[in-house]
Structure 1
Amino acid sequence: MRASAPDPLADALDRLIEQRSFDIHFQPLIAIDRAEIYGFEALTRAPANGPLHSPLVLFEAAARLGRLVELEQLIIRRAIQRFKALGLPGLLFLNVTADTLMVAREHAGLLAGELAELGLSTSRVVIELTETRPIEDLAQLDGALQALRERGFRVALDDLGEGFASLRRWMEMRPDFVKIDRHFIDGIAQEPLKQQFVRSIVEMAVTSGCEVVAEGLEQEPDLEVLRRLGLTICQGYLFARPSASPRASLSAQWSGRLATEAQPRLLQNDLALPLAQGAITSAGQLARRGLTVTPATSCRSIIDLFHADDQLLAIPVLDDQQRPIGVLRSLHVLKRSTERYFMDIFEKHSCVELMDTSPLVVDVATPLRAMSDALANLDERLLIDGFIVTRDGTYFGLGRSSDLLKAVSDLQVHAARYANPLTLLPGNVPIDNHLDCLIEAGETFVAVVWDIDHFKPFNDVYGYRIGDDIIRLAARVLTQAADPQVDFVGHIGGDDFVMVLSSTDWEGRLERICKAFDTGVRSFFSAEHLAAGGYETLNRQNQPSFHPLPTISAGAVLHLPGHFENARALSAALAEPKRVAKGRAGGSRFFVDRRQAQPLLLMAQHW
């Protein structure tokens, strides 16, 4: 009888398990709304020079040889030890297959004990189910998940959109996190169908009370789309590749950019600000008349002009109707002029040979906010040359980037005088100005006042720093739900906010705010307080008093032309619906004053 051939993968796996010859790499998950690292996913790397180097080959071989659970348990322990030794912040995401998860009931207590010895809370560990293998016994899976949750572990569903039955599994598992497969994230900026899929997942997550993670993010345009769709946690090469010794904090490049984008914009409601006399608010005020040329001007003439004046940075090129068709940039022109044979060939040619045909062009009425956004997306090499200003399509002047940046800075400083320092949202003065303007103009809108419930006990238990984070969460939820083109968000102070909604779908926006706050606020609580639904503190009589977890509530008033004389009268009318909303039990909620049926009918006809 012929002996069976040796299995090189089996021998390699034996050595790997016996010698523990695998490494753990970590890739960060980024909370883009907070501009910080949310946690790390642990990834296994076998020796590079061996047949098991590919993770896919490694785990398939382990499954075939009946050693998958043994291998994954070793990896889990090594990952936890490395995570603690490196002092990494946030949560630790650990990948496990269904095979390993099935035996979690017997091992959950042992794993929790090991974490306690390392000084690591189970609430910081997320068990991530990868659907590379089918699940045979759903009842056993449910029991394993329950055992993990009872110990304080969190659960995630990996690669949503792939696998055997991931959407169904979501409904059955009710995980704390769902991670969208990279196929639906990569290139989402150019794929409306992917956007619709992710939008649906985010909406489902709000309903089910779980967090969504976007995996495989590699391109900046995709990041912007994900932000607009409401995702707050992203993972991918755009931020960092997996590393055995990862950074414990975001790079300066990303922390600054994400923090700037995450904060509500000071200029978002700049029209509500009382502007100082002579303040610059639009492109026309930045335009300077200067030298221009036409396509009839030769390359030689342009080169001579730049050589003669080293302060001359850019020259607009206009057609015979005085419309800009391009711009000549000194650095580019002088560089081209030194190229071999350039002057011999192009000396007498039209200057269009040297022209940039895609300059930044803005209308005289363009507000500073829009110009600042446009400039932020411009190639850094072109910033020094500024922008062209037009009126009715014809040339009006040339603006300098330095003047724009100074004007934006001045306006932000001015705005900061009237903004809440914690959230940078407009404060009482611009809130009242905005309301008075709408009332005087006879506009139809909905005024809403928001308040965080049970906030003081939370502050007492978790500290003012975490309390500030809850207030920032409320600010983000409100601004993300508002349409910046027509709606207004202000921060009165403390945990009180105001919204002025001119959007026709205002009621749906209020519902989304309640769901988003209830979902987002969960990450601030300990597993113990989440399970209990609150916590106890001592009252003034030194007696224990139970307090529910914070929610957010709102009172709203429908405003029709002629209903209120000014912002002060409208503010007084908001007190009653706010009191009604706060008196209701349950999660976050709002109450709309609907006592006058006729105004509601008129509003429906008006809109």
Structure 2
Amino acid sequence: MALGQRLPEPGTPESEALLAELQAILQQQSIYSVYQPIVSLETGAVFGYEALTRGPQGSALQRPDLLFGFAENCGHLYTLDRLARERAIAGARLASRQQLLFINISSAIIYDPHFVPGQTMELLQRYGLEPHNVVFEITERSSIEDFRVAKKILEHYRKQGYRIAIDDAGAGYSSLQAIAELHPDFIKVDKSLIENIHQDKIKECILETFVTFAQKMNISLIAEGIERLDELTKLIRMGVQYAQGYLLAMPSREPAELPAELAEHIAQHRKAAAANGYWTIGDLATPIRTFDAKTLISEVASYFKEKPDAQAAVIVTDGRPVGLMMRERLFQQLAGQYGFSLFWHRTIDHIMDREPLIVDAALSVERASQLATSRSIHNLYDLVIVSREGRMAGVASIRAILETITNIRMETARVANPLTGLPGNQQINRELSKRLLEGKTFSVIYIDLDYFKWFNDRFGFHKGDQLIQFTADVVQQSIAMCGTPYDFVGHVGGDDFIVMAAGADAVPLCAEIIRRFELGVPMFYDGEEFHYVEDRHGNRIENGGVTLSLAHLACAGGASVTQEHISQASAALKKKAKALRGSVYVTSRVGAGISSYA
């Protein structure tokens, strides 16, 4: 069958031929699984893999949509789905106990009586996996008809340790209803919402709603179908937690790792946030006593008796954290009836918490807090274990995490611009001083909206605020495309912005800011066209509307350049730019030793 061809009508020769082929596939068990990585946008590490079923190569049913669609039409969906689940588990090669395997199941399958008894558990045990490694990803092959029954069945699996994901969010109403009814652990955002999101403000606003909702409900968000670096960068900056798509890795028979250059791209953009007050859980990690998993319980108990202030100990195997032993919980075990005689001479791995919260050091403090506070009330105040590349790095307490978040929010609210949320004058001065002290060449770009007063008077302050926010977005998006992760953008106030970029040549960045601004600003005119505007004194100026004036100043490193020099030179340069018609940039330099660049 050609790509895009519909399934044949039942009873036709084509349908009978496909039925024979499907029966042969099921009898010979000739389907196989490929695996596509799901990547953490907090750490750049592979978080898990989605198992994708493929029919025999060269078969008319090779494509999964045709294979499962035809199987459902002719009543063989349950048999095919069980076989696909077996193949997915059998071929999975997870690198750590924390990685997850996402297995697609049709919503119709959860009503299958053969789905309940425990065949999946038997498969997992056979291949060395556990329920906490598995996420059942509910697809939209058929809509859920009875949410009451579905919730009951899925709750049965949750109690065993499995997790639930809802696929194709944003593609239709049924996925949103499933989110509301089933309270999933993961939401997978459909490719249709992710494609070109860096250029589509409506898609961005919709995804922002998903991000906010997921944070409030402690649900993890996975963006699907990423094929462009621009999309990936936008998602990182929007706070989406996980990503999947051809850009990151193609599906393959052997689970693949993320290419090094993409991992570095993710890490750099996270570091950029760090320069503006972003804290990672690794910043809070403190040392703690560790014990090997085969240490006797008596030895751990003796340690706690000798160290009355010790709250817990981390249990490790070959330097990798595998469990947590809280002081209070250990003594509760020993104090119970026969506790001493039962446990004293056994190893600590018999009573340790085998499922502690273990997070990578690069994870944001905000996200670590969400994970920690969503735990069971019995584990709510357990220490959070911090690892680097899978190895023990330290622990963080709930108190330290919450205090840090409170301080970050108070500081951000105090110094950020209230309209755009960008760093204000205090942070701008701090950043400028830091760059001057580093002694490296950098660029300063002052950005001013021309004729903003005219726009505000004509269209109202609400539309004016929207234009200011749009300009802030344009600058940030341009930096994501043409700048570096270490570039800084601040809101001086009103309609003035500032960018500090690495190196002397920021001309491509200036050109990109103007291009994006000119492309998007007409939508603020409500369909009107203008041949003139008015300046601050009410004089008519021939111009098509609001424009941008950019003053690009290359600053040489060294003691000869000061903040005052930069301020004076930029003011003169901005005056020169504003004397020109249209959106323009002008360039100059301050300090010695800068080669010609424009």
Q: TM-score, normalised by structure 2?
A: 0.49
